[in-house]
Amino acid sequence: METQPTLNQKKGFRLNYTTLNWGMLLVMLIIEVIVFSNLTPYFLHLNNLLPVGREIATLGIVAIGQTMCILTGGFDLSVGGVAAISGVVAGVMCSPKMLDLPFVVGFPIAIAVALAVGMTNGFLITKVKINPFITTMAMNFILGGAVILITKQPITINKPDFKFLGATTFGDIKFPLPIIILVGLYLLFFFILKYTVFGRKLYCTGGNSEAAKVAGISVEKTIFFTYTFSSLLAGFAGIMLASRIATANPGIGSSYALESIAATVLGGTALSGGEGNIWGAFLGVFVTGLLSNGLIMIGAPQAWRDIATGLVLILAIILQLSSKKSRRLAG
Amino acid sequence: MDEYALKCENISKSFPGVQALDNVGFDLKKGEVHALCGENGAGKSTLIKIVTGLYQKDSGDIIYEGSKINYKSTIECRKNGIALIPQELQLAETLTVAENVFMTDFPRKGIIVDWKVMMKKTRALQERLGAAALTFQPQDLVSKLSMGQRQLVEIMKAISTGVKLIAFDEPTSSLSDEETREMFRLIQELTNQGISIIYVSHRLAEIFKIADRVTVFKDGKLIGTKAIAETNPQELISMMVGRDMNLYQKSHDGIVGETLLEAKNLTRGSKVKNVSFTLKQGEVLGMFGIVGSGRTETVRLLFGLDRMDSGEVIMHGKKLNIKSPRDAVREKIGLITEDRRGEGLSLVMSVAQNITMPYFSKFRKHGVLDLKEEAKTAGKMVEILNIKTPGLKTRVETLSGGNQQKIVISKWLGADSEILIFDEPTRGIDVGAKAEIHKLMDNLSKEGRGIIMISSELPEILSMSDRILVFRDGEIKAELENTESLTEEDVLSYSIKTR
């Protein structure tokens, strides 16, 4: 290490850990595509892929917030509950049989519920100092109960303005709006994480909260906003889902927390915090989503989809660990 | 059988970048209390950790009870009668006294723990130790015990397995005076029972009270062994510091300006008691004392990491109200913490991101961080401080200790801190990087910044400081001008209880 600092050579392509992980996920995606397109010719049709993308969008948006929480070294286990309650509140507001408000009124109210939940999470974690795991798990229980109190039955909202957000498509190929929203949100949050003061504070907080404190960063405020963002995103995803299927279903979301954590971890974000980015989660969501869809296409039951998701997760972590080990040897 | 319980011969041990022990040896007679002393980093703790199986020696021989041993773990040592009472006690606080004592080997009936026997055996051990150990019950939770009582539990744990040799690492550092006297009585009792004691301590007064012989170490080397009856504190102190003075010339001579900072009667519990001092522009103010003497605790108050019970801080004639590190950073105070990895760096993040951590928000233009501007600033710091790194995006954890420390310092240069607090700035850093960091501190003070430097290394204190504050037991015991005539012995004598 006696060489002069080679600051000007940093332009060249560097095979760092993040790129390696990306490569791994891409290879997984390609394998999935090859295997399933051989098993069923319809797999690669736009008629299949676009609806899959639309379906994945919900979890993909949830995974953005989850990644942010994990980057600070925490978790958000309440994303499922938030998605469910936001969707149901939107349903209650907009359903012709209930309040029958226009979507432009119902939407902000439902989002406000998500905001309130996120701020409560943030408050409990930073001020009352309850561990994020416990806080958000408890919150998920509460929300699960609250949703059932509001409605036991799915609420149908068959109104054009309500369905606009989730069910709009463009052009002859019927390109779904949710995919555009998904990509847009990923670009937005990529930007926030990389290019804003808040994003940097989030990484510093997760990388080493003590060092962040010593550097004058308000760790608590950062964590508070992170959980608020996570809830807002989960709430938005829940509303978008209700809009897409024209139904506010109190039963949705129970698997979102674990699935979004799985996608984040697949994407190479460290549970210890401070390293990773949302593009990993983006690919992670696609890897599990396409796997699930492929298995549906070849007629595998739900049980096999769950088993396959678990296996892929373990495989991915083993690959991550070995690449980390080799990096340590190299460093 | 000969009269020696233990003989260590030609022991060497190195850690990455440090020769912790260099060919040292000492012996321990049966029933003897043998004290090991020296400054921080002298190697005494490393040696007893090797003897008790916590570390493995690189080379040398340990002869125990007449035969060469090579135990690989503390468990193996304990089974063979060698126990360590560490400075930080290792007890499970949520369990009972009895459970802690018999943790490695529960009395059993078949596969079930025999509680009755365990309680009885614990009680018997307590009786063996005498009155002090009878102040608590075998079924008491350790969390309810005082520090002194906990130490007794550690000792019971040791003697429960038929111990022949106990090594104490700074046993009195967290004890009250009364508990300390009790501990001495107990050690006397243990030696009467034929147990040999290795006693590591900073406190010379204790060594003269309790030890039969004393061995002094310095910088990992053996200085000598003396019978307590034939030596005195003065001699020990000069053995502890006696080094080639030419190697440590004064490397800083401050042109001291106006008063920058005034601390008045800073107090926090019993850790910091009525500490007052001033810091001038261009000055390096050394803070010396043993670990736990109140130096780090004082600067934590200045920096807002802990809240003071009372006291005030005045900077540029204005009273500061520092409630958090954020406030301190805003007032242009920087802290280079002792624990680089714990509080100084985010190891998983890049060199650039670490360098700009206290002030990256100033690269914000219309809400967007200008990463190119940030890289430029970070690149400048890398050049100024001669940080050896493959690139600005390199993860900090892959760099050497010296380069990591330079990154911690660079954080505060970029933040334009007027006051820089260095807590043990060169601990665990190789000699070359050490000299560079000293040079850097000298330059910083010449720019008119005020520097507070905490150090446990006397040569560093004497070569860098303009003034020296000596801490002991949470108080400033002496304020010394660092003139030519000031010696290491002078400084050390204030920090150690010699009476």
**Predicted local distance difference test score (pLDDT) of residue B484:** 81
Asked if residue A328 is part of any domain, the answer here is no
- The identity of residue B233, as a single letter, is P
**Residues B85 and B155: beta-carbon distance below 8 Å:** yes
Give me the residue from A195, A196, A275 closest to B348, CB to CB: A275
Give the separation between CA A199 and CA B368, rounded to whole angstroms: 10
Does the beta-carbon distance from A5 to B389 stay under 8 Å?
yes
Chain A: residue nearest B414 by CA? A215
Residues of chain A contacting residue B369, judged by C-beta atoms under 8 Å apart: 194-197, 199-200
Total tally of structural domains belonging to chain A: 1
Query: Which residues in chain B have their CB less than 8 angstroms from residue A196's CB?
Result: 364, 367-369
* Terminal Cα-to-Cα distance of chain A (whole angstroms): 10
Q: How confident is the model at residue A302 (pLDDT cuts 50, 70, 90)?
A: confident
Domain span at A289? 42-319
Residue A16 is assigned to a structural domain of this protein:
no
Distance from CA of A202 to the nearest CA of B (A): 12
At A27, the amino acid letter reads V
Q: Closest residue of B to A329, CA-based?
A: B398
Minimal C-alpha gap between A199 and chain B (Å): 10
Subunit contact B347:A208, Cβ cutoff 8 A: yes
Contact of B354 with B396, CB cutoff 8 Å: yes
Q: Is residue A23 part of a domain?
A: no
Dig out the tokens for A192 from the structure. Answer: 């926030």
Is A229 contained in some domain?
yes
Size (chain B), residues: 499
pLDDT for residue A10 is more than 90: no
Give percent of chain A above pLDDT 70: 92
> What angle do the packed helices A46-71 and A256-266 form, to 10 degrees?
90
- Residues A36, A286: Cα–Cα separation, whole Å: 14
Would you write out chain B's pLDDT as a tens digit for each of its 499 residues? 568 899 999 999 987 666 789 999 999 999 999 999 887 668 888 899 999 998 899 999 999 988 899 888 888 898 889 999 988 788 898 999 999 999 878 888 888 989 999 999 999 999 988 888 888 999 999 998 888 888 899 999 888 888 999 999 888 877 777 888 888 988 998 999 899 999 998 778 889 999 999 999 988 889 999 999 999 888 888 888 765 433 445 667 767 788 999 999 999 998 899 999 999 999 999 999 877 789 999 999 999 999 999 999 999 989 999 999 999 999 999 999 888 888 899 999 999 999 999 999 999 999 899 999 999 999 999 998 888 888 899 889 888 778 888 999 999 988 889 999 999 888 767 666 778 888 889 989 998 999 999 998 888 898 899 999 999 989 999 999 888 888 888 888 888 765 4
Which band of pLDDT confidence, cut at 50, 70 and 90, is reported for residue A329?
A: very low
CA–CA distance, A57 with A41 (Å, rounded to integer): 24
For residue A206, the domain's CATH number is: 1.10.3470
- Residue window 364-393, chain B: list those with CB within 8 Å of chain A: 364, 367-369, 371, 379, 382-383, 387-393
A14 touching B, CB under 8 A?
Answer: yes
Question: Domains plus CATH for chain B?
Answer: 4-242 (3.40.50.300), 247-495 (3.40.50.300)
Q: Residue A113: which pLDDT band, with cuts at 50, 70 and 90?
A: very high
Query: Over the range B25-47, which residues count as b (16 or more CB within 10 Å of their CB) and which as e?
Result: bbbbebbbbbbbbbbebbbbbbb
Q: How far apart are the first and last CA of chain B?
A: 39
SS (H, E, C) chain A: CCCCCCHHHHHCCCCCHHHHHHHHHHHHHHHHHHHHHHHCHHHHCHHHHHHHHHHHHHHHHHHHHHHHHHHCCCCCCCHHHHHHHHHHHHHHHHCCCCCCCCHHHHHHHHHHHHHHHHHHHHHHHHCCCCCHHHHHHHHHHHHHHHHHHHCCCCEECCCHHHHHHHHCEECCCCEEHHHHHHHHHHHHHHHHHHHCHHHHHHHHHHHCHHHHHHCCCCHHHHHHHHHHHHHHHHHHHHHHHHHHHCEECCCCCCCHHHHHHHHHHHCCCCCCCCCCCHHHHHHHHHHHHHHHHHHHHCCCCHHHHHHHHHHHHHHHHHHHHHHHHHHHHHC
Q: Which residues 6+ apart lie within 8 Å of A100 measured at CB? A: A94
Both tokens of residue A180?
A: 């555009």
Dmax (CA) of chain B: 82
pLDDT at A309: 87
Angle of the A219-245 helix axis to the A197-207 helix axis, nearest 10: 110
- CA nearest neighbour of B41 among B455, B414, B354: B455
Among partner residues A9, A216, A331, which is closest to B326 by beta-carbon distance?
Answer: A216
Dihedral in degrees, nearest 10, Cα atoms B343, B346, B352, B357:
-50
What confidence score (pLDDT) does residue B422 get?
Answer: 94
Evaluate whether residue A10 is within a structural domain: no
Q: Report the C-alpha gap between A287 and B171 in whole angstroms.
A: 57
Select from B345, B390, B397 the Cβ nearest to the Cβ of A211. Answer: B345
Using CA atoms, how far residue A305 sits from A251, A294, A311, in Å, is 20, 9, 10
Residue in A6, A199, A211 nearest the CB of B343: A211
Mean pLDDT of A170-190: 95
* Chain A residue at shortest CA distance from B325: A216
Q: What is the pLDDT of residue A17?
A: 65
Indicate whether A17 belongs to any domain. no
pLDDT for position A4:
39
